[in-house]
Chain A
Protein backbone atom coordinates (compact mmCIF):
# COMPACT_ATOMS: atom_id res chain seq x y z
CA UNK A 1 0.00 0.00 0.00
CA UNK A 2 1.13 3.51 -0.69
CA UNK A 3 2.30 5.67 2.18
CA UNK A 4 3.85 9.10 2.60
CA UNK A 5 5.86 10.14 5.65
CA UNK A 6 6.72 13.71 6.50
CA UNK A 7 8.72 13.31 9.66
CA UNK A 8 9.09 17.03 10.33
CA UNK A 9 5.91 18.18 12.02
CA UNK A 10 7.00 21.80 12.43
CA UNK A 11 9.96 23.83 11.28
CA UNK A 12 10.77 27.39 12.25
CA UNK A 13 13.37 29.49 10.45
CA UNK A 14 14.35 33.10 10.23
CA UNK A 15 13.78 34.95 7.00
CA UNK A 16 16.46 34.40 4.34
CA UNK A 17 17.46 31.02 5.73
CA UNK A 18 17.29 27.99 3.46
CA UNK A 19 15.00 25.20 4.57
CA UNK A 20 14.43 21.63 3.36
CA UNK A 21 11.19 19.75 3.88
CA UNK A 22 11.57 15.99 3.83
CA UNK A 23 9.23 13.50 2.20
CA UNK A 24 9.68 9.73 2.17
CA UNK A 25 7.26 7.49 0.33
CA UNK A 26 6.43 3.81 0.02
CA UNK A 27 4.96 2.15 -3.01
CA UNK A 28 5.05 -1.22 -4.75
CA UNK A 29 4.26 0.23 -8.16
CA UNK A 30 6.89 1.14 -10.70
CA UNK A 31 4.71 3.90 -12.07
CA UNK A 32 3.63 6.55 -9.63
CA UNK A 33 3.36 10.30 -9.19
CA UNK A 34 4.60 12.55 -6.43
CA UNK A 35 3.27 15.97 -5.56
CA UNK A 36 3.84 18.92 -3.26
CA UNK A 37 1.02 21.19 -2.16
CA UNK A 38 1.09 24.35 -0.09
CA UNK A 39 -1.65 25.25 2.39
CA UNK A 40 -1.27 28.86 3.55
CA UNK A 41 -3.08 30.14 6.66
CA UNK A 42 -6.08 31.02 4.50
CA UNK A 43 -6.66 27.28 4.10
CA UNK A 44 -6.70 26.65 0.36
CA UNK A 45 -4.48 24.01 -1.21
CA UNK A 46 -2.09 25.22 -3.86
CA UNK A 47 -0.43 22.81 -6.26
CA UNK A 48 3.34 23.29 -6.47
CA UNK A 49 4.82 20.42 -8.44
CA UNK A 50 4.27 16.95 -9.81
CA UNK A 51 6.99 14.39 -10.50
CA UNK A 52 6.56 11.11 -12.42
CA UNK A 53 8.40 8.02 -11.21
CA UNK A 54 10.27 7.70 -14.49
CA UNK A 55 11.63 11.24 -14.34
CA UNK A 56 14.26 11.69 -11.64
CA UNK A 57 15.43 15.03 -12.90
CA UNK A 58 15.52 17.62 -10.17
CA UNK A 59 13.57 20.79 -10.68
CA UNK A 60 14.09 24.41 -9.76
CA UNK A 61 11.44 27.09 -9.88
CA UNK A 62 12.64 30.40 -8.54
CA UNK A 63 13.46 29.93 -4.86
CA UNK A 64 11.91 26.45 -4.84
CA UNK A 65 13.73 23.26 -5.75
CA UNK A 66 12.87 19.61 -5.53
CA UNK A 67 15.17 16.61 -5.16
CA UNK A 68 13.67 13.29 -6.24
CA UNK A 69 15.72 10.20 -5.40
CA UNK A 70 14.21 6.80 -6.13
CA UNK A 71 17.12 5.02 -4.42
CA UNK A 72 16.03 6.46 -1.08
CA UNK A 73 12.32 6.87 -1.92
CA UNK A 74 12.51 10.53 -1.13
CA UNK A 75 11.12 13.68 -2.69
CA UNK A 76 12.47 16.60 -0.72
CA UNK A 77 11.56 20.24 -1.13
CA UNK A 78 13.98 23.12 -0.53
CA UNK A 79 13.12 26.76 -0.19
CA UNK A 80 16.09 29.05 -0.68
CA UNK A 81 16.20 32.45 1.03
CA UNK A 82 12.89 31.86 2.79
CA UNK A 83 10.36 34.67 3.12
CA UNK A 84 7.54 35.31 5.57
CA UNK A 85 5.04 34.55 2.78
CA UNK A 86 6.42 31.00 2.65
CA UNK A 87 4.84 30.31 6.03
CA UNK A 88 2.33 27.53 5.44
CA UNK A 89 1.71 23.84 5.84
CA UNK A 90 3.32 21.86 3.06
CA UNK A 91 2.01 18.47 2.01
CA UNK A 92 3.74 15.77 0.06
CA UNK A 93 1.44 13.33 -1.74
CA UNK A 94 1.73 10.09 -3.72
CA UNK A 95 -0.58 8.62 -6.33
CA UNK A 96 -0.16 5.13 -7.77
CA UNK A 97 -3.20 4.97 -10.01
CA UNK A 98 -4.13 8.63 -10.24
CA UNK A 99 -7.33 8.12 -8.30
CA UNK A 100 -6.10 7.48 -4.81
CA UNK A 101 -3.77 10.27 -3.80
CA UNK A 102 -2.28 9.69 -0.36
CA UNK A 103 -1.10 12.69 1.57
CA UNK A 104 1.52 12.96 4.25
CA UNK A 105 0.58 14.58 7.54
CA UNK A 106 2.19 17.84 6.47
CA UNK A 107 5.02 20.04 7.72
CA UNK A 108 4.16 23.41 9.22
CA UNK A 109 6.78 25.96 8.19
CA UNK A 110 7.02 29.23 10.07
CA UNK A 111 9.31 31.90 8.68
CA UNK A 112 10.01 34.65 11.16
CA UNK A 113 11.00 38.14 10.05
Chain B
Protein backbone atom coordinates (compact mmCIF):
# COMPACT_ATOMS: atom_id res chain seq x y z
CA UNK B 1 0.00 0.00 0.00
CA UNK B 2 1.20 3.51 -0.82
CA UNK B 3 -0.91 4.95 2.01
CA UNK B 4 -1.77 8.63 1.53
CA UNK B 5 -0.13 10.32 -1.42
CA UNK B 6 -0.13 14.02 -2.24
CA UNK B 7 0.84 15.93 -5.35
CA UNK B 8 2.61 18.20 -5.99
CA UNK B 9 5.31 18.26 -3.32
CA UNK B 10 6.14 21.90 -3.94
CA UNK B 11 4.39 24.72 -5.77
CA UNK B 12 4.82 28.45 -6.17
CA UNK B 13 1.73 30.44 -7.12
CA UNK B 14 1.24 34.06 -7.99
CA UNK B 15 -1.45 36.01 -6.18
CA UNK B 16 -4.83 35.40 -7.77
CA UNK B 17 -3.90 32.11 -9.43
CA UNK B 18 -5.81 28.91 -8.79
CA UNK B 19 -4.67 25.37 -8.22
CA UNK B 20 -5.76 21.98 -6.96
CA UNK B 21 -3.84 19.96 -4.44
CA UNK B 22 -4.33 16.26 -5.02
CA UNK B 23 -4.74 13.65 -2.31
CA UNK B 24 -5.26 9.94 -2.82
CA UNK B 25 -5.41 7.07 -0.35
CA UNK B 26 -5.43 3.36 -1.12
CA UNK B 27 -6.51 2.08 2.29
CA UNK B 28 -10.25 2.28 1.59
CA UNK B 29 -10.65 4.81 4.40
CA UNK B 30 -13.98 6.56 4.67
CA UNK B 31 -12.68 9.63 6.45
CA UNK B 32 -10.34 12.14 4.83
CA UNK B 33 -8.99 15.48 6.00
CA UNK B 34 -7.09 18.55 4.82
CA UNK B 35 -4.89 20.50 7.21
CA UNK B 36 -2.54 23.42 6.87
CA UNK B 37 0.57 23.92 8.95
CA UNK B 38 1.98 27.41 9.21
CA UNK B 39 5.62 27.86 10.28
CA UNK B 40 6.18 26.99 13.93
CA UNK B 41 2.55 26.08 14.42
CA UNK B 42 0.42 23.04 14.79
CA UNK B 43 -1.99 21.83 12.15
CA UNK B 44 -5.36 23.41 11.53
CA UNK B 45 -8.25 21.59 9.90
CA UNK B 46 -9.49 23.09 6.63
CA UNK B 47 -12.10 20.57 5.42
CA UNK B 48 -12.98 16.97 6.02
CA UNK B 49 -15.08 14.24 4.46
CA UNK B 50 -16.80 11.27 6.07
CA UNK B 51 -17.40 9.50 2.78
CA UNK B 52 -17.86 9.98 -0.94
CA UNK B 53 -20.20 12.88 -1.62
CA UNK B 54 -20.04 14.26 1.94
CA UNK B 55 -17.79 17.14 2.98
CA UNK B 56 -17.79 19.65 5.80
CA UNK B 57 -15.87 22.70 6.96
CA UNK B 58 -13.16 22.60 9.56
CA UNK B 59 -11.59 25.40 11.56
CA UNK B 60 -10.13 27.44 8.65
CA UNK B 61 -12.15 26.81 5.44
CA UNK B 62 -12.15 30.30 3.92
CA UNK B 63 -10.44 30.48 0.54
CA UNK B 64 -10.66 26.73 -0.10
CA UNK B 65 -13.05 24.24 -1.63
CA UNK B 66 -13.16 20.46 -1.68
CA UNK B 67 -15.00 17.65 -3.37
CA UNK B 68 -15.17 13.92 -2.73
CA UNK B 69 -16.48 11.99 -5.70
CA UNK B 70 -14.68 8.75 -4.86
CA UNK B 71 -13.50 7.03 -1.69
CA UNK B 72 -9.88 7.33 -2.80
CA UNK B 73 -9.58 11.00 -3.80
CA UNK B 74 -10.05 14.22 -1.87
CA UNK B 75 -8.74 17.23 -3.84
CA UNK B 76 -8.37 20.67 -2.28
CA UNK B 77 -9.00 23.69 -4.51
CA UNK B 78 -7.58 27.18 -4.02
CA UNK B 79 -9.50 29.58 -6.23
CA UNK B 80 -7.77 32.94 -5.75
CA UNK B 81 -4.43 32.38 -4.09
CA UNK B 82 -3.38 34.89 -1.43
CA UNK B 83 -0.07 35.25 0.45
CA UNK B 84 -1.90 34.16 3.63
CA UNK B 85 -2.30 30.72 2.05
CA UNK B 86 1.44 30.15 2.02
CA UNK B 87 1.73 27.03 4.14
CA UNK B 88 2.37 23.30 4.15
CA UNK B 89 -0.77 21.33 3.37
CA UNK B 90 -1.32 17.85 4.72
CA UNK B 91 -3.94 15.36 3.71
CA UNK B 92 -4.90 12.59 6.13
CA UNK B 93 -7.26 9.65 6.26
CA UNK B 94 -8.61 7.16 8.76
CA UNK B 95 -10.88 4.18 8.87
CA UNK B 96 -14.25 4.16 10.58
CA UNK B 97 -13.96 3.38 14.33
CA UNK B 98 -10.17 3.72 14.11
CA UNK B 99 -9.53 7.17 15.43
CA UNK B 100 -5.95 7.91 14.52
CA UNK B 101 -5.33 9.68 11.23
CA UNK B 102 -2.59 8.79 8.80
CA UNK B 103 -0.94 11.63 6.94
CA UNK B 104 0.45 12.18 3.49
CA UNK B 105 3.91 13.72 2.97
CA UNK B 106 2.59 17.24 2.53
CA UNK B 107 2.58 19.92 -0.17
CA UNK B 108 4.63 23.07 0.40
CA UNK B 109 2.82 26.01 -1.21
CA UNK B 110 4.20 29.52 -1.56
CA UNK B 111 2.04 32.37 -2.82
CA UNK B 112 3.93 35.48 -3.94
Selected contact of B105 from candidates A44, A47, A91, A100, CB within 8 Å? A44
A45/B103 in contact, CB under 8 A: yes
Selected contact of A43 from candidates B40, B43, B50, B88, CB within 8 Å? B88
Q: How many A-B residue pairs have CB under 8 A?
A: 55
B42/A104 in contact, CB under 8 A: yes
B106/A44 in contact, CB under 8 A: yes
Q: How far is the CA of A61 from the CA of B40 in the complex (A)?
A: 28
Which of B's residues lie within 8 Å of A, judged by CB? 31, 33, 40-45, 48, 50, 56, 58-59, 88, 90, 92, 99-103, 105-106
Q: How far is the CA of A95 from the CA of B33 in the complex (A)?
A: 13
B42/A99 in contact, CB under 8 A: no
Interface size of A by CB at 8 A reads 22
Q: Which chain B residues border A106 with CB–CB below 8 Å?
A: 40-42
Q: Which chain B residues border A100 with CB–CB below 8 Å?
A: 45, 48, 58-59
Q: How far is the CA of A44 from the CA of B107 in the complex (A)?
A: 10
| Residue A50 is within 8 A (CB to CB) of chain B in the complex | yes
Question: Which residue of the partner chain B has the closest CB to A6?
Answer: B42
A50/B105 in contact, CB under 8 A: no
Selected contact of B43 from candidates A47, A52, A91, CB within 8 Å? A91
CB distance from B6 to the nearest CB of A (A): 10
B-contact bits for A70-113, CB 8 A (1 contact / 0 none):
00000000000000000000010101001111111110000000
Query: Given A99-B31, A100-B58, do A47 and B42 touch, yes or no (CB 8 Å)?
Result: no
CB distance from A48 to the nearest CB of B (A): 9
